[in-house]
Amino acid sequence: MIRQAMEQALGKLVMDVRFRDAFFRDPMAASLAAGIQLTEHERSALGRTRPGALAAFQRYLDGKRIEDPIGELRESA
């Protein structure tokens, strides 16, 4: 269960700009508002991640996705 919370938080930190901004302002409030229960140690570990690195990873992932004409996502070559 704890691993699931960390994975959920990390995913939101990468893909959700609003959550990312809120988390780096107040990690406890942001995680609780998102329904993610993290320990202080987990919040601290995630808080040491550079926001710019998360944003860069999001841009990378967004660039790997191509939406086809019927709205399905597939990986780019």
What would the pLDDT profile of 8-59 be if each residue is shown by its tens digit? 999 999 999 999 999 999 999 999 999 999 999 999 999 999 999 999 999 9
What would the pLDDT profile of 63-74 be if each residue is shown by its tens digit? 877 554 455 555
d(CA 38, CA 28): 8
User: How many separate domains does the chain show?
Assistant: 1
Structural domain of 46: 2-75
